[in-house]
């Protein structure tokens, strides 16, 4: 995969949004559309199924030079050779889940959580949910105010996440984000590859910091 600081579009193979679609075919479309990172998120799947999907997707992402992130399963991520794992604050700090030797990302929902995450030396931080989102229906939106805080205070790679669409991404970029995570706006699009390309075009209007 390309260096993480060069990654801008972070997409998902989320089993809650596949609508009976083929995970491998969806991953290929995400790669073809310009995804820099793809996270496998299978919240309700047994561990054996998560591993099967991880091994399947890794064949596709490696061939496309796209990073594969495994949600919630650091030991499995390391075992299959994924590039990163992703953990929530409650997993890492409260439940004591250790990422071991694999690089990892952490969620954050407020400045104090971001600062705590920075002290854990993650590869990246997710900032959100910026807007209300069906992937986290109980989560209160952090709004663009938190995005602005992140732009002013975070020096490691961070991704805005939560309810980001082609209708509001310009506002997210104007608030200072240069990297975004997109779930439903891409997975529910009529053409996944085209949707990725449209997001990449918008991101190109807000170049990464040098």
**115 HSE (CA, 13 A, CB side):** 7
Q: Rounded to an integer, what is the distance from CA 12 to the centroid of its chain? A: 7
User: CA distances (Å), 197 to each of 23, 53, 54, 135, 187, in order?
Assistant: 19, 24, 24, 22, 13
- At 137 the pLDDT is 72
Ordered by where they begin, the domains of the chain are 4-204 (3.20.20.70)
The residue assigned the tokens 């890492």 is 92
Q: pLDDT tens track of the chain, all 210 residues?
A: 999 999 999 999 999 998 788 999 999 999 999 999 999 999 889 999 999 999 999 999 999 999 999 999 999 999 999 999 999 998 999 888 888 889 999 999 999 999 999 999 999 999 999 998 776 777 789 999 999 999 999 999 999 999 999 999 999 999 999 999 999 999 999 999 999 999 999 999 888 874
Distance between CA atoms of 48 and 80, rounded to whole angstroms? 12
Distance between CA atoms of 50 and 85, rounded to whole angstroms? 13
């Amino acid at each position: 995969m390309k260096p993480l600081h060069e990654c801008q579009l972070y997409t998902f193979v989320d089993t809650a949004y596949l609508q009976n679609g083929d995970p491998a075919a969806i991953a290929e479309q995400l790669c073809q559309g310009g995804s820099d990172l793809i996270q496998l998120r299978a919240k309700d799947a047994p561990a054996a199924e998560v591993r099967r999907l991880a091994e399947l997707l890794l064949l596709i992402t490696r061939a496309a030079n796209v990073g594969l992130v495994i949600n919630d399963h650091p030991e499995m991520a390391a075992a299959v050779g994924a590039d990163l794992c992703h953990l929530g604050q409650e997993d890492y700090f409260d439940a004591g889940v250790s990422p071991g030797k694999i690089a990892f990302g952490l969620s954050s929902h407020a400045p104090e959580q971001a600062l705590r995450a920075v002290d854990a030396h993650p590869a990246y931080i997710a900032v959100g949910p910026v807007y209300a989102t069906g992937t986290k229906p109980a989560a209160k939106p952090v709004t663009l105010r938190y995005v602005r805080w992140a732009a002013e205070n975070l020096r490691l790679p961070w991704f805005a996440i939560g309810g980001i669409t082609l209708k509001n991404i310009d506002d997210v970029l104007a608030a200072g984000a240069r990297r975004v995570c997109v779930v439903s706006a891409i997975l529910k699009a009529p053409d996944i590859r085209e949707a990725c390309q449209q997001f990449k075009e918008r991101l190109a209007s807000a170049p990464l910091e040098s």
